[in-house]
Amino acid sequence: GAGVSQSPSNKVTEKGKDVELRCDPISGHTALYWYRQRLGQGLEFLIYFQGNSAPDKSGLPSDRFSAERTGESVSTLTIQRTQQEDSAVYLCASSFRRTVDETQYFGPGTRLLVL
Amino acid sequence: KQEVTQIPAALSVPEGENLVLNCSFTDSAIYNLQWFRQDPGKGLTSLLLIQSSQREQTSGRLNASLDKSSGRSTLYIAASQPGDSATYLCAVHSGNTPLVFGKGTRLSVIA
């Protein structure tokens, strides 16, 4: 079956512009995660969705970052007024449910470059 | 706050060698630890997941061990191949917190 897909695969934008990144999780997976990976750094948790529960936004670095998810399907991560430090690979992952033994399946990521 | 450290940051070995990647974490109250492989442009692939009650997990040429009390895990790769070249990430799951990742070890296996 299809894995997690993300679009676009690459995005170059100018400082100050808004960007939207999309994630299509594996069908039937109720949990969806967004991470950020800056050059030479580990993955940083951004936000997590579980079914219809309120999302865990504890990792969002500023109010310029927001994310939505429609039901248990597509999620969009929006970055407003992009800054150069937002340049990173943004990774999305999904799992069947959020329990301690559930493996997360990752998409290929969106490489964002803010000029 | 959980912190995960991976040593070495980079490693280059000739094909056929056995090798060990190290991961350490500061808070031993974990539920599980995962090893991932990251290939350029292809995201992350889960390799092994060790529950806190387990000591090791094996998959093919890979063996991961966990010593929760000392906050350490190792990933052993036997008979390395050029196709093993990738970045290997260790991640820890503690309670309701999201996965905490190390910065990874970049492995190059030279033919």
Closest partner residue to A100 among B32, B41, B46, by Cβ?
B32
Check A106 against B91: CB less than 8 A apart.
no
At A77, list the tokens.
């991560």
Give the closest-approach CA distance of A85 to chain B in angstroms: 18
Chain B environment of A101 (Cβ under 8 Å):
31-32, 49, 51
With CB atoms and an 8 Å threshold, state whether A43 touches B99. Answer: yes
Q: Are B77 and B17 in contact (CB under 8 A)?
A: no
CA distances to A105, B25, B79 from B40, rounded to whole Å, are 16, 26, 23
Residue A70: the pLDDT is: 84
pLDDT at res. A61: 93
The pLDDT assigned to A101 comes to 62
CA distance B48 to B82: 20
Q: Which amino acid is at A105?
A: Y
pLDDT at A72: 80
B chain contacts of residue A36, beta-carbon cutoff 8 Å: none
> Per 3-state DSSP, what percentage of chain B is helix, strand, and coil (rounded to 5)?
5, 55, 40
Tokens representing A41?
A: 């750094």
* Residue among B31, B93, B98 minimizing CB distance to A48: B98
3-state helix, strand, coil in chain A (%, to 5): 5, 45, 50
Q: Closest by alpha carbon to B17, among B58, B57, B61?
A: B61
Question: How far apart are alpha carbons A66 and A57 in whole angstroms?
Answer: 8
The first and second tokens of residue A65, run together, are 């970052």
Which of A42, A59, A101 faces B104 most closely, judged by CB atoms? A42
B14, two tokens: 């000739």
What's the CA gap between B46 and B67, in Å, rounded?
Answer: 20
Residues B53-100: tens digit of each pLDDT = 999 999 999 999 999 999 999 999 999 999 999 999 999 988 666 789
A103 and B34 within 8 Å at the Cβ level: the answer is yes
The pLDDT, as a whole number, for residue A42 is: 84
| B43/A109 touch (CB, cutoff 8 Å), yes or no | yes
Distance from A49 to chain B by nearest Cα, in Å?
Answer: 11
Give the Cα separation of A27 and B4 in Å (integer).
31
Q: What is the pLDDT along chain A (115 residues), one digit of tens a residue?
A: 579 999 999 999 999 999 999 999 999 898 999 999 998 888 999 999 988 888 889 899 999 999 999 888 899 999 999 999 999 999 999 988 766 567 888 999 999 999 9
Closest partner residue to A107 (CB to CB) among B36, B43, B49 is B43
Residues B19 and B105: beta-carbon distance below 8 Å: no
Q: How far is A36 from chain B (nearest CA, A)?
A: 11
How close, in Å, is residue A83 to chain B by CA atoms? 23
- Radius of gyration over every alpha carbon of chain B, rounded to an integer in angstroms: 13
**More reliable by pLDDT, B39 or A99:** B39
Is B83 in a helix, a strand, or coil?
helix
Please, are residues B78 and B19 in contact by the beta-carbon 8 Å criterion? no
Cβ neighbors of A39 (< 8 A, separation 6 or more) are A87, A88
